[in-house]
Structure 1
Amino acid sequence: MKKTLLILLSIFLFSCTEKKNNQNPELDLQTEINKIIAGKNATIAVSVNSIEDDFKIDINGNKELPLLSVFKFHVAIAILNEVDAKKLNLNQKIAVEKSDLHDNTYSPFRDEFPNGSREKTLGEVLKYVVSQSDNNITDVLIKKIGGTKIVQQTLDNKGIKNFKISANEAKMHENWKNMYLNTSSTNSLNDALKKLYDGDLLSKNSTDFLMKTMLETTTGANKIVAQLPKNTPVAHKTGASGKNDAGLTAAENDIAIITLPNGKHYAISILISDSMESEETNTKLIADISKTVYDYLIKIERK
């Protein structure tokens, strides 16, 4: 009888311990992420939101940090909003002149078509903006819809808060300070990602187009996707500033919607700013955080 009671007591205590450990999974994940970023000479913001469930965490989630090329996510939403309003059509041809293709900036389109092209459709050039992060084509499309103010207004009207878009790529390239003109909090980015997935920002056709285009992103292989299992669906948009002469990195960024093996999804936004760490350290921070989040969400789903 005593042996039976001891066994029952042990089971009860183990059950209580497990329950206690699972009472605040958000805090557990925050603790793990804080271990990764501890001691780094950088400002790091992270937000994680389950799409289907209520799970969410953030570290510095309300701090607005420079976006760099992540702002092309906002630009794409503004462009597709014009498509939904029948002001533009994904099949219409977009004229890209040689004069639009500036040197000394990242531009796969320029490398392929150094003299420009009038034969590419809006859908095709928009893929250069999102999937390949082309700076020149981004500015062509921003001009097409009336400037960065339209990008800001579009997202404002969609209920997205705590962000600012006021500079195109050309302006950001004028000087180091201008890299800080386009900003967002990671909580704001995750809000936009979740609303995109839920169909609250764009029509179904436009949502599907943008999600597919983000899944085809070729940049940032050393960031959010780096340590995830092969063939994990990751719809993401990256951003990076490089370093100035003092060794400062204004931004190393990645945002994504990731699909778990069980078919559920989560939004994750990681912004690193004002970092004196090496590029390798910055990108590995993003990769380490991403893998930690992925593994943790799988673990709690299995319980």
Structure 2
Amino acid sequence: MQSVYKLPISMAVLQRVDQGTLKLDQPVRVEKRDYVSPAQHSPIRDKYPNGTELTLSELLRYNVSESDGSACDVLLRLLDGPQTVMRYLHGIGVKNMIVANTEKEIGSDNAVQYRNWSTPNDAVIMLKALQEGRTLSKSSRDLLFRWITATPTGMQRIKALLPKGTLVAHKTGSSRTLNGITAATNNIGLITLPNGQHIALAVFVSDSKADDAVRDEVIAKTARAIWDAWSPVPPK
């Protein structure tokens, strides 16, 4: 999954907020030891090299909107580890999605990323539960949707070939390219159709030898084909 797994992690945190055991405005200390490696993406580390204090809400936004690896690991710490995310996923009917490691662990060994995986179908099951409001309160759901709709990541993937102004709430996941192989080029999301209905879509391009543009195009063309099949077509 790479950073796709940040979405279920944030959902599990927001469930704790709904239950009252965590608060969006509570301060959370982020220490230098929490930072992922320089090769991994972390705007928090880059902005606050000596550590900082952020609210839980800010950490969540960094996690899903800016795909910050350090924010992700701090959230996992607040959840007492990946096993809490797994219990959450099983509770909403997602059986074939595995969150097993921290971002720091994933960055330390290329093989570790393969332990954190999902079938596309189970990613869609998770998105459907989120869209139908079966997993979070309306306020938590609205907040999460705002972040994952405003994210600047993945502009050449699901969103690239859809009509201008189409609402897409989505999460990307991307690995490094090693020895000519890119393990993960991913995008999952909810597309809002003109009639107000939604498409849940998950595309995982795995272990590809193609370049960045081709991998992104596979996702973009898949999204466009589904849009063309399901959105109402106005008369010419």
Say yes or no: TM over 0.5.
Answer: yes
Q: Could you say which residue in structure 2 is the equivalent of 1:270?
A: 203
Give CA-to-partner distance per residue, 1:40-79, whole Å, 9 cap, x none: xxxxxxxxxxxxxxxxxxxxxxxxxxx1100001101111
1:209 to partner: Cα distance: 1.2
Q: 1:107 aligns with which of 42, 47, 55?
A: 42
Does residue 148 in structure 1 map to residue 107 in structure 2? no
Q: Distance in 2 between matches of 1:300 and 1:188?
A: 29
The CA RMSD measured in Å over matched residues stands at 1.4
Q: Map 1:36-47 to 2 at 5 A.
A: none
Query: What amino acid is the match of 1:294?
Result: W
Structure with larger RCO (C-alpha < 8 A, sep 6+):
1
Q: Could you say which residue in structure 2 is the equivalent of 1:243?
A: 177
Identity level (%): 38
Q: Distance in 2 between matches of 1:82 and 1:123?
A: 13
Q: Could you say which residue in structure 1 is the equivalent of 2:168?
A: 234
Q: Distance in 2 between matches of 1:160 and 1:125?
A: 25
Q: Could you say which residue in structure 2 is the equivalent of 1:187?
A: 121
Unaligned stretches of 5+ residues in structure 1: 1-66
Query: What amino acid is the match of 1:167?
Result: N
Q: Distance in 2 between matches of 1:190 and 1:160?
A: 9
Runs of 4+ aligned structure 1 residues displaced above 3 Å come to: 299-302
Q: Could you say which residue in structure 2 is the equivalent of 1:73?
A: 7
1:274 to partner: Cα distance: 1.4
CA contact (8 A) 2:185 2:216 kept: yes
Q: Map 1:56-135 to 2 at 5 A.
A: 67-102=1-36, 103-118=38-53, 120-135=54-69
Aligned length: 234
Q: 1:282 aligns with which of 193, 215, 235?
A: 215
Query: What amino acid is the match of 1:153?
Result: R
Query: What amino acid is the match of 1:258?
Result: I
What secondary structure sits across from 2:222 in the alignment? helix
Q: Distance in 1 between matches of 2:39 and 2:231?
A: 43
Query: What amino acid is the match of 1:100?
Result: D
Q: Distance in 2 between matches of 1:267 and 1:278?
A: 26
Of structures 1 and 2, the larger Rg is shown by 1
Q: Distance in 1 between matches of 2:52 and 2:128?
A: 35
Give CA-to-partner distance per residue, 1:55-111, whole Å, 9 cap, x none: xxxxxxxxxxxx110000110111111111111011111111222223321001112
What secondary structure sits across from 2:46 in the alignment? helix
Does residue 220 in structure 1 map to residue 157 in structure 2? no
